[in-house]
Structure 1
């Protein structure tokens, strides 16, 4: 029966709230004292049941929790027939617990989501040279596997034959598919977007990189024990003190009503509601501004963060490669761009979309005699012209001469972190394009806002090459930049920062980020990221709006401060009430109840101030959801 009642705590809270509303409505609107009284009596009985059970369970393990004090106070209020106080206290207590517990199960589905994404089968070469589909658990190290277009790589391995483009976003988080040729390293869980390859299984099962991701998430989640709430710590001495005080007063005065009055006045109604109302207001403000804060513990931890670690792609950058720089040489540039578009339409290269998007709508020409040059690009016949599209190595192979300007442009484009696409027509360079992932608009200012809010270290960890990562870090003014980082490397770096005493938040969006999101003191996911990243995280920036990050940090700092203010107000009121009851003659139950209700209103209104919180200079319009520049007030 106890477990059943505790399992229905949310329903009990709802019923209790409805009964209280009926009671007050009956009293003030209908003037029906009988209905009002019995509504509050039933609400009190319903509400106190789960609290009393929790108090009993706490006492069994020799812990005098705040549940014990609330239970005794409600019984005392019943004895003096103050049903309004007993009903309100139980409801506020239950509602506060509901608000804090409602998000604790958010991350439980993360492991299932990860395992669902893992490959389930593999094509293994048999003794007769044919390939047979088997369960991925039956693959052994050294087996030769076949991966076709659109298939998942089942193990970590080495390419033996074939060539293709593999999307490694699930491992490195990078958006641009990587070309894999003979001798290349592939990872389980990645997707072969184009081509056919045979690989040798080097690591299988839990030893694969993808298996390690799952393991890291499990370990990180287990290591994040729930921090003991301040109120629980406070109650370790507060609750016994009030109980002992009430007993001493009864023993000395033999006045049971006075003793019960001490218990009732000592019941921290404002303390019970003070923290939840701050949380509700803070979480509500976040929701209105595109920020999901998963509970009060997240607010407290986030407000203390001094180091923020970022994934690069999809977080600091947009995540979609675009043509960032372009140079056109010679005459007939429109014709050259038309030929380039004609070739790229036939190409499955991952950068082709970026090229076509930049060129826009043009008249294209049928392409003849297409020849894919391994590791170089494409050579084709277009309208009687020999068109070569690819990298510098292809231009050298095609004996295309780069003049001094073109050579300087190539060096400049490479220095800026671009992937190069050169186009030559009949042996003459016509177009040079530099393609890279673009930094999110406004990110530099957002990072500056984070620094002004007290963040000391801004770090970027990426699976991309070090040169590209350094360029992003230099452009944005980051403290540290580390490239070539696999998921386990990111997690190890976060652990290193934590061991140095830093309170770390990690911002990411991919499956590969989920171990780091779970391991960091605060995990922050971009809303357009994977479900796993969102479930594993503590904070979600909806719509992937990076500008919400400074607002989120400022909001949590204000919310944490607001909670402390409410706690001081609540405790201060209780101390004043008890002192007045014991050392003055003017304090009685009625005055005490009035002060209690007033203190509850004070902490509620104080908490509601958070609903209007807005970061100075915020460039986001809450009503329209559109970024704007606002003069700091």
Structure 2
């Protein structure tokens, strides 16, 4: 057992010795014409080289797997028995050296995931009850703890800023390297870096529960899942290897040509075919992770690359999910003062429309409000030192006899027809402001949908629980042709089923708990990263930080991965065909065949790695 461990631990060293002995043999023969020295060096090289290969074949046989190592082992042993020491030594070296290069290049395809795990926070500065700070292990942090983050430090947990402001680099979570300004009340994420400023944060999630922890968990899970192509190749290799052994045996019996039988074993190794698809899969998933796109496995890649229909939820997906001021009509001489008064009154309300006005006004100081009275279903009546202010809907204005001219009514109709919720502000009996509030369309949504159409997507559909008129206004602005409003979650799921019955490959994009049935039912569920945990868990693809533009990038990436897999399969099959033709016509021999075989493995690995290299160039 110790000998086996030593051999496997020093496999690369044995490969180096094997190569040096082959070089020494060449010097003996061609410089000194010492044939005995040539044969002896090749024999020793063969024995040293075959040790790890034999051991790997034996370990595979113990679990009832006939591996590629067994084919090569029989080929090396056969070459030794017929005295072709040069063939056995060179075949062993090429196989071991190819395995070494395969190991090193595969490690590079996992660099993206490894870098994520290395970036996971290890400690944090905890603010104690007496106001002091102490460095503690990340495992000792609990929800609700107060932490200090200094300039150039890593944010250790998911939390909310309690004090301070600064600029954070969120590339590890969002895939975007530009700085983002954060201040009190803003969320921060574990694994991001504070480039400038000092923050005091309250812990919301730690360790594996953080956004960063979820990224690592999802990517690691994704690497373990397999695509249809991988499962096919696994089955193919399972039956192919014994078939090659049987073929070599039959050829050896009938032709009485041992060299030919051994050469068939060497050329029959399906190395490039077995390794090509997993390399593309792992490299593609790693590439997506670095860009803020989490793809949960090879099967998702296969399905996503064939999607022809995208179905979108509206609120929180196509739109921001939070009402904000989109239009303001001013009918006073002092707009700034009117807006300040409105914000001063609305900040005492917890209504979403009122909060949207406060956010929009963004004033540094407020005026004193003496009295407020909420009129149910209409708005607020407030009293200031020199003004009586009405803030609410049109019925509040009518009830208090606020005159609305034809031009004002025209403005009201124009805003209502474009999907705005209206807040009217009247001061001392005259209308001062007309504020249009609506859920804003996500930045980049229109361009992303246009790009999806250009890449061959047949249908872009919106399903929403909102009213049909509002949904149609947004759909018209975005270029979506099919819109269905007033839907319950079960109605959305039924529509997904109908599309699938019609033969469509459907991707559903959503963010809420109510979207979970549709996310799970669709061929590919895509969750916005800022959505609920249920939506993220039931989806197949997660867009970190709800970056809508990543949808088109994710779709394009899966198509690239699928194409890369196909290229690798073609390279592998073409190599086998080339070797067989060369064998038939006498152009390929054992050592040269092994060289071509190992070269094909490297080609498919490097071809798969292009998926990672492309990401680095664009970053």
* CA distance in structure 1 between the partners assigned to 2:617 and 2:466 by the alignment: 34
Quote how far apart the aligned CAs of 1:246 are.
Answer: 2.4
Are the equivalent residues in 2 in contact too, given 1:497–1:504 (CA < 8 A)? Answer: yes
* CA distance in structure 1 between the partners assigned to 2:20 and 2:249 by the alignment: 40
* CA distance in structure 1 between the partners assigned to 2:489 and 2:437 by the alignment: 25
* CA distance in structure 2 between the partners assigned to 1:28 and 1:357 by the alignment: 71
Of 76, 79, 82 in structure 1, the residue corresponding to residue 77 of structure 2 is 79
Instruction: Deviation per CA, 1:501-536: give whole Å up to 9, x if none.
Output: 001112222333233222221222223333333333
Q: Secondary structure at the match of 2:503?
A: coil
Give the aligned partner of residue 449 of structure 1: 451
Instruction: Deviation per CA, 1:354-378: give whole Å up to 9, x if none.
Output: 1012222164333233222222222
Q: Secondary structure at the match of 2:487?
A: coil
Give the aligned partner of residue 575 of structure 1: 577
* CA distance in structure 1 between the partners assigned to 2:571 and 2:402 by the alignment: 78
Pairing of 1:20-169 with structure 2 (within 5 A)? 20-24=11-15, 44=53, 47-48=56-57, 51-52=60-61, 56=64, 68=66, 70=68, 72-77=70-75, 79-80=77-78, 83-84=92-93
Give the aligned partner of residue 201 of structure 2: none
Give the aligned partner of residue 369 of structure 1: 371
Of 344, 347, 361 in structure 1, the residue corresponding to residue 346 of structure 2 is 344
Q: Secondary structure at the match of 1:556?
A: helix
Are the equivalent residues in 2 in contact too, given 1:311–1:461 (CA < 8 A)? Answer: yes
* CA distance in structure 2 between the partners assigned to 1:49 and 1:370 by the alignment: 85
Q: Which moves more between the two structures, 408-417 or 247-256? A: 247-256
Give the aligned partner of residue 393 of structure 2: 391
Are the equivalent residues in 2 in contact too, given 1:518–1:537 (CA < 8 A)? Answer: yes
* CA distance in structure 1 between the partners assigned to 2:6 and 2:611 by the alignment: 28
Q: Of Structure 1 and Structure 2, which has the larger fraction of its residues in helix?
A: 2
Instruction: Deviation per CA, 1:409-431: give whole Å up to 9, x if none.
Output: 11111111111111122332211
**Change beyond 3 A, Cα 1:264–1:289:** same
* CA distance in structure 2 between the partners assigned to 1:417 and 1:444 by the alignment: 17
TM-score by length of 1: 0.66
Gap regions ≥5 residues in structure 1: 1-11, 57-66, 104-223, 615-619, 624-633
Q: Are residues 1:587 and 2:588 paired? A: yes
Q: Are residues 1:464 and 2:462 paired? A: no
Pairing of 1:38-437 with structure 2 (within 5 A)? 44=53, 47-48=56-57, 51-52=60-61, 56=64, 68=66, 70=68, 72-77=70-75, 79-80=77-78, 83-84=92-93, 227=228, 229-232=231-234, 234-235=236-237, 238-239=240-241, 241-255=243-257, 258-361=260-363, 363-437=365-439
* CA distance in structure 2 between the partners assigned to 1:94 and 1:75 by the alignment: 23
Quote how far apart the aligned CAs of 1:460 are.
Answer: 1.6
Q: Secondary structure at the match of 2:352?
A: coil
Give the aligned partner of residue 184 of structure 2: none
**Change beyond 3 A, Cα 1:461–1:596:** same
Paired residue total: 473
Are the equivalent residues in 2 in contact too, given 1:379–1:389 (CA < 8 A)? Answer: yes
**Change beyond 3 A, Cα 1:41–1:394:** farther
Q: Secondary structure at the match of 1:351?
A: helix
Q: Are residues 1:484 and 2:520 paired? A: no
* CA distance in structure 2 between the partners assigned to 1:505 and 1:439 by the alignment: 20
* CA distance in structure 2 between the partners assigned to 1:296 and 1:89 by the alignment: 25
After superposition, the CA RMSD in angstroms is: 3.9
Quote how far apart the aligned CAs of 1:85 are.
Answer: 6.0
Quote how far apart the aligned CAs of 1:387 are.
Answer: 1.7
Quote how far apart the aligned CAs of 1:341 are.
Answer: 1.4
Give the aligned partner of residue 497 of structure 1: 499
* CA distance in structure 1 between the partners assigned to 2:513 and 2:47 by the alignment: 54
Quote how far apart the aligned CAs of 1:589 are.
Answer: 1.4
Instruction: Deviation per CA, 1:348-405: give whole Å up to 9, x if none.
Output: 1112221012222164333233222222222222224322211222223333232212
